Amino acid sequence: MRKLLGIIIGAAFAAAILVAIGWCADQFFPPMIDISIDDETAVAHLMADKPMLEKILWVAPWLLGSFGGAWLALRVCDWKWAGWIVAGLMMAFAITDILGLPHPLWMQACAIMLPITGGWLAARLHHKPYPGEPLLG
């Protein structure tokens, strides 16, 4: 039960990071509403014309959400696979995002590499709580 709770809390935290950074990106770079999502060439040109900072804000949650969610899942349940499950969920989200809209090649590579890197960093930085140490303290 604790393993499942850790995975749920980690995934919820990762999703919260996605929403928070996405909201910040929308504040700095409002989305274009006058374009049809069905017109693939127009969407491809729109993605190519986005500034680099907006593209970085697009991929940053894949690393930060994966790292934060995996670390929190590891901290809650102290099961190494919980962090990798959260990182895998972030990778699945990133891949569906990449498949939904045309992205540059480097962003497609980030969809795979950044969640793996975040999960790996969380596993490296996580330490087993000492007896008597609170899990989230």
| Nearest C-alpha neighbor of 63 from the set 8, 116, 136 | 116
Amino acid 136: pLDDT: 59
pLDDT tens digits along 88-103: 999 999 999 899 888 8
| pLDDT recorded at residue 132 | 64
Q: Under a CB-based contact definition with an 8 Å cutoff, are residues 91 and 111 in contact?
A: yes
Spans of the chain, pLDDT less than 50: none
What is residue 47's predicted lDDT score, i.e. its pLDDT? 82
d(CA 13, CA 21): 12
The distance of Cα 91 from the centroid of its chain, to the nearest Å, equals 7
Q: Give the DSSP letter string of 53-95.
A: HHHHHHHHHHHHHHHHHHHHHHHHH--HHHHHHHHHHHHHHHH
For residue 41, give the 3-state DSSP assignment: helix
DSSP code for 50: S
pLDDT at 66: 96
Q: What is the pLDDT of residue 121?
A: 97
Please state, in angstroms and rounded to a whole number, the distance separating the CA atoms of residues 108 and 99: 9
Structure tokens that stand for 29 in this block = 């770079």
Distance between CA 10 and CA 104 in Å, rounded? 29
